[in-house]
Amino acid sequence: DAGVIQSPRHEVTEMGQEVTLRCKPISGHDYLFWYRQTMMRGLELLIYFNNNVPIDDSGMPEDRFSAKMPNASFSTLKIQPSEPRDSAVYFCASSDRTSGGNEQFFGPGTRLTVL
Amino acid sequence: QKEVEQNSGPLSVPEGAIASLNCTYSDRVSQSFFWYRQYSGKSPELIMSIYSNGDKEDGRFTAQLNKASQYVSLLIRDSQPSDSATYLCAVFINSGYALNFGKGTSLLVTP
């Protein structure tokens, strides 16, 4: 399997622009998670989905952030408008709870820089 | 959100020594605990999970859990320079399947 795929790997944008991060989970996995990592705050959960349905979005920092999972093989995290404090590495992870697994497999991350 | 606390380090140990990494958590109902390793510029990778009090061994790694003290640790025996990384402790949030991570402990194994 190719593992969790994220794109783009790096994104540099200017304040106020819309940013869309993409994730393809491992095929067959029923859970998908979006995390954000910064030096100050560490790795924080933003939102997670089960079978394409959002379960907990309490970690989404504000209304500028939104996430969708239109099908089992694709999810997006959108920031509109972006701000410099959104600069971080954003990770997508997936897991297969159907078969009893607890391990979350992380994608390579998207490094976002907002100028 | 419940807290997961780790000493940020860096923890420096000589090659061949035992590295001991510690983690405390605040949610008494937590049942599942994980250790992830993250190399610089890379994504986290699961190395150990533990669900019951006591020790769990896997190769050079031993995870220890004490639910009464709300304490979980990771021991790395015969430490190698390739073990140099940040180690993240994680706990399931609110009996669900999302993880609450500590900020990690940086480990440096010196030749």
* Residues in chain A within 8 Å Cβ distance of B49: 102-103
Residues B18-49: tens digit of each pLDDT: 999 999 998 877 788 999 999 999 999 999 99
Q: How far apart are the first and last CA of chain A?
A: 36
A10 chain-B contacts, CB cut-off 8 A: none
- Asked if A61 is an interface residue toward chain B (Cβ–Cβ < 8 A), one would say no
If one counts every other C-beta atom within 10 angstroms of the C-beta of residue A10, the result is: 11
Position B96 pLDDT exceeds 80: no
In whole angstroms, what is the distance from residue A77 CA to residue A92 CA?
Answer: 9
B101 close contact with A: CB closer than 8 A: yes
Question: How close A107 gets to chain B, by Cα (Å)?
Answer: 7
- pLDDT, one tens digit per residue, over A12-68 is 999 999 999 999 999 999 999 999 999 999 999 999 999 999 999 999 988 999 999
| Integer Rg of chain B from CA | 13
CA A17, CA A57: separation in Å to the nearest integer? Answer: 23
Measured between CA atoms, the residue of chain A closest to residue B94 is: A56
